[in-house]
Structure formats: C-alpha cells, structure tokens
Structure 1
C-alpha cells in the first residue's frame, strides 16, 4: 500500500455470528480479528495524523426475514449486541493505546449483516424481504456492491468466517481497492458455534412502523457512546420496502444549541453546533448509505426560520430517508412542537426524559411517543487499571478536559 496516498487507510472486518450475547464469549471470539484489523490500519497510518476507518460488519442470521422485520421487533437484543461491539472496540483501543476518532487513530463503526452460512450467496440476495436495503442492517450483496472502497478486508479463519468471505467476494469488485481487495483470513482464531437464536422469544412483539424517529443530545467530541445511540435510533426507523409506498422516513436529531452549553465544564473546548452536526450527520450516513456508487451523494440544506427549532441542517441520506439536525434551545426540542413524531430513543441514563416528553405531549392531546432505551457502554471486562481511562474516552466532558490539559503544555 502506498504511503503517500491522499485518502486515509480503510478496512472492512467481516464477523460471523457470535456464540451468544454474553460479552465474555463475544470478546473471546472477536478480539483476535479486531486486533489484527487495528494492527493493519496502524501500520498503514505509519505515525501520521490521519484517521483510519474500520467498517465492522457483524453477522446475525435472519435479520431481514419476516420474523425480524422491522428490526424494532428485536430492539433490546440488537442494541445490546451493538453495545458489546462498541465496548470491545473501546477496550481493545485502551489496552493498545489506540486513539479513537482522533488524529493518528481509528474511527470504527458497526453495521449488522444478514448472513446465514446455510444459504449460498445467491439465495442471500433473493431471500431478503426488504426490497431496498439500507443500513444499519444490510445483506452481503448490498455491502459488497456499495460505493465503499476498502484497502484491506479481514475475516476470522473459521468455517463460517470462510463462508462469509466467499459470499462477500462473489459480489465485491476487487479492482476498486489498491491491493486488489481480496479478503484476508485472520489465523489463530478459535472456532465457535454461532448461537441458535439472538432474539429472546418473549421479546418479539407486533411493532408499530415508525417513519419519524427522534433523539436528542449534545454530541460533542463524537465518541463510541454516540455511535451506539445513533445506530440504535436507525434500527427503530421503518425499513425500506415496508409501509406506505413512497412514504418519507425521517430521523430527527435534536443537537443542543451553543447557548445552552455555556455552563458546561471546559466550555471553551466545546465544538460548535455546526461541527457537532457535521460529525453526527457523517456517522449516520456512514452506517445507512450503502447504495451503489452512482447513487451515493448527499446534499446538505441549511435552514433558518424564526421560532423554536428553526435552525436546522437537512440532508437526504438515501432516497426516502431524510436526516434533520435541529438546534434545540430547551430540553424538549421538536418533541413538543411536531405532532407527527412517533418514536423517541433515549439512553438508560436519560430515561426520565422520555417520560417528561410524553407528559408534555399528553397536555397537548397528542399521541404518546414509543420510547426505546439504549444501554450505556460500561467498563466491564476492562482491566482495573484501565477503567478510568476507558470511561474518559466515552465522556465528552473528559475529552474536553484532556484537550485543555494538552493546550496548557
């Protein structure tokens, strides 16, 4: 790989289904492959201040089958699996002293891949009940045929891992990548048997199709906690090919306005509202836009209107999917000014906010929002001496504090 290339190095990690939803087992089977991908990207960075990117496609069979559509049917299990994935990314990064989402480091993001080794590659592309696939749940053909170009592609050298790599390679145009893009096995990976079911039977229910989902936050100095929350939000959104034909699907992100943050700790190191919107929009696009090269183009529209929630950035992620980044100047934002919203995503730290929102909507005689709770990434399974460092990497306040300390050197 040429060291003088302009674009930062990139890689794809294809992961077969985990043996269970236990984090201990999750880490045991995936850490070798993740470490190999990290090592490759760090070598490619060669000490530069660029940020390498790693797409992680985590396989979960049957995600696009009728029994798991829409993904909100299995929301609790899916968001927990995502939490495990991002916790593992954080733990390995801390142990190896790798920066996350920062110069000289690696920007990792996780999508869910519908893959079953029992089916061959042809049947995978035909079996999906989703007519138009968009992330964060994709099939093998959609992933391989997307506009993405990876310098390196890795997979665990296990029977299911090899099946996954073969299925992917059938659709991937290897000439897109500088080194040919041939999937590379990670040797020394222990074999495991994928779990029979990742969705608890009692969890499955007849869901409401949500075409308008909202969440809110500061999203300062973007980190893996933000990634988990936003990916879970995308899972709640009505999938393509379901519901009314031509119905627009919208994710609204209330991004706290600068005036509300003046009393935050280390406020002088806060990113501007525009910067926070850009990083949020870029991440959502990266996990949702897997269209072919000729269709992948986003246009950002700036909106300035008088009144509450009047300032916004609006972009079309994919045909039929719109992202609205709205400046909020109070704790409620659009949840109490826009009646047609149908779902709210909160972290377990802010679950009381969901109840408060619905109380305010009830006063207006509006329909209650369905509230989805997302786990908080915690430091379980991280070495005791690294717990504090881990926590600081997923806290915007601590990131600002470190920026202040660096500025004083």
Structure 2
C-alpha cells in the first residue's frame, strides 16, 4: 500500500484544564483547521487520526485501571464537534467513503500525563489494560505507519511530539518530510485545589449494547461508538471470556420511508463500516495497526462479527427491526449507550426487561455534537446537528446527481 493511502496523524497537546468547549475550541481549532486544510484533496479522500494525550486512567496496576466516562466522552464529543464545524466551513465531507474533498477523522484518547517521563532505556511495548484506552508508548508501537504526522508548534505540543518520536524509535521509519508542524491555539491550565475531589470513576462492563442506523457513518456515529467501546471491561490476556460489544444496526426495511431513502446504504455496508471504524480503536499489534492484514469479518445468521486484541473483545453487529433490538432478547447485557435523541428508549428498554424479570441496564447518554462556543457565528446547535446528519448527507448526494 502506498504511503499516501495511509491515514495521517495529528498529535494534539494536552487539553486545557478545565476543558470546557469554549476553551477547547480556542486550543484545538487552529491546529485542526491547519491539518484538515492540508488534507483536503480534490482527487481522493483522506483519513486522519486525532490523538489526544490526557491522563485519563487511574489505578496502580495496569489490569485494574479506571477512568471517568462522562469526562472522557465529553472530551471526545467536543473534539468531534470542532472537527465538524471546521469541515462545514471548509466544505469538507466528514462521512466515511465520501470521496474527494472528504476527511474521515477518528478521535483517539491516549493516556499520558504532563509529568510522565520515559528513561533513555524505556522500550515501547504493547500493554493493554482493562479499558480500551492505551498509553503513549503502546500507541507509538501499535498505531502506524502514517502518511504524515502533524504536530503542534507550541511548548506543550513539542513536549508530546518529542516524547512520541522517542517512543516510536526503532518501531517506525519516519522521513523528515512526513513531519509537519502546525500552529497551536490557546494554552491554558488552571491548577486545581489540592483538596479537590477526584472525578468519580466509572464501572466498566462485560457486555455493552447500543443501536443506530449508522447510515453514511459520520462524527455523531463515531462519538456514539467510541463512547460505547470506552465502557468495555477488557479481560486479562488468556481469559476464556471475551467482553462483548453488541451493536444494533437498523434493518433496511425500517428505513424505507426515510427521506432520500434511495441513498440509504445497504445494511451490510453500514454494519461493515461500523466494524472497520472500531478496528481503528481496538486493534493492537506490535507490527503496526496497518500491517497489511485485513480485518476478518465473519457472518453468522445474518449478523456480522469481528474479534480484537487476541479475541479478548468481540464486536457483533446485529440487524434490528424494532426499537428494542437485542436488549430484550439477550438477558446478559449490562449497559446501554444512548444519544440525546434516543434517551427515552433507555427507560422503555428497562421497562420491557422488568416485565421479563431481568435486571435493568445501566444507561449512559452521550453528549450532542454542539456548535455553541465553537462556531464563529451564531450557529444554533439544532441547525448544526441537522447539517451533519445522515439525512443531510443523503440530501447532498441526491442533489449532486441532479442535472
């Protein structure tokens, strides 16, 4: 595979603390704008991995790490929102397989603290813990090769970039022309009071479920899938029991009355795109995440499945034909992830499960991709959300075919 067919990497500096959306935009919009502008190509689509180093994991032992899910998913949501606003302003399509002038961007959280130091004899190693979040050494070892690596020209940005290069040494072959500096934004860090309460840590689960149409996979879908995967409790290596991520993908029959229904992708395409996106988050290999091996997707009884991290994570896409999907047919599900649009579905699911005498699911709601405090204009969030929806993408494709 040619180098320019590979994704590019943007290494962001540490997020401001506190990381509200206004300050995040001031910090991250300039480097994201510069990177996305350079990746927009009139002859082909581009891919971008946005790596965000932040000390999210807590706990003394690697197999018992914990983190605060609300904080983590909110950070991911904010960055996807910034990306979406920038792409709207630059006329860059954000959906998967959108062709020329599109950038397929994926946000990945990297566990790395400002004061973490690596000794000269430190050797990167694949060290997965019981969450899907990896540290910077593991990321530098397992995620490559790249087309280009963009890094922020600031003190904090260079701190992350230089550490990454040291950890990647001997694992990656990088040319000077691949390393592209971009301007940084505002740097702000407010020191927390010593007696400040730590954020409450979130329990992870053996079986997590969510559902959606996933038509023309876009940043809103990516946020939902990332938020769900963050809740997975990854078992120890050698464990006979894999954790399971069950994703209900709406069947074609339920979508035939959607606007511009003729541009809805077939169920198998939508399910495969879900698995391919998750492979970016979940694949770990010392040979690199693009080592030439294609993701193996297995079809069983009309469902599509894939396995990651040596079989420790099972992801299964199932076809759903109603509002409940597998949540009322599989008792062993532990947690349900919903969006703001589907929050009422969580209560309906638990009511149905109660009728069966089953335990209620723990319900987690992801943030909306909010344009407020990010867009330079008076963009209303609801209008912004409609512009990045699957319906809007289908409409643009329909209009592009008009004479």
TM category (shorter chain) comes to 0.7 to 0.9
Pair 1:294–1:145, CA change in 2 (3 A) = closer
Q: Structure 2: which 5+ runs fail to align?
A: none
Once the two structures are superposed, residues 10-38 of structure 1 have per-residue CA deviations (whole angstroms, 9 ceiling, x without a partner) of: 32111122222211110111122112212
Greater shift, 131-140 or 16-25, is seen at: 131-140
Pair 1:239–1:231, CA change in 2 (3 A) = same
Pair 1:132–1:71, CA change in 2 (3 A) = closer
1:10-409 matches, within 5 Å, as 10-19=7-16, 20-42=18-40, 45=41, 47-48=42-43, 50-66=44-60, 73-101=67-95, 102-104=98-100, 105-122=102-119, 131-133=127-129, 136-173=132-169, 176=172, 179-180=175-176, 183-187=179-183, 189-193=185-189, 196=192, 201=197, 203-205=199-201, 207-241=202-236, 245-293=239-287, 297=293, 298-304=295-301, 311-319=302-310, 320-381=312-373, 382-384=375-377, 390-409=384-403
Between the aligned partners of 2:261 and 2:169, the Cα distance in structure 1 is 47
Q: Secondary structure at the match of 2:357?
A: coil
- Tell me the matched-pair count: 391
Between the aligned partners of 2:236 and 2:354, the Cα distance in structure 1 is 32
Once the two structures are superposed, residues 30-78 of structure 1 have per-residue CA deviations (whole angstroms, 9 ceiling, x without a partner) of: 1221122123323xx3x20x21111111111142545999787511111
Do 2:235 and 2:241's aligned partners in 1 also have CA atoms closer than 8 Å?
A: no
Greater shift, 225-234 or 139-148, is seen at: 139-148
1:307 corresponding residue in structure 2:
none
Between the aligned partners of 2:199 and 2:61, the Cα distance in structure 1 is 12
Pair 1:134–1:58, CA change in 2 (3 A) = farther
Greater shift, 6-15 or 232-241, is seen at: 6-15
Query: Alignment RMSD, CA only?
Result: 3.2
Do 1:214 and 1:253's aligned partners in 2 also have CA atoms closer than 8 Å?
A: yes
Between the aligned partners of 1:328 and 1:241, the Cα distance in structure 2 is 31
Once the two structures are superposed, residues 166-220 of structure 1 have per-residue CA deviations (whole angstroms, 9 ceiling, x without a partner) of: 21111225885674576443246444337659xx947515x54411100001111
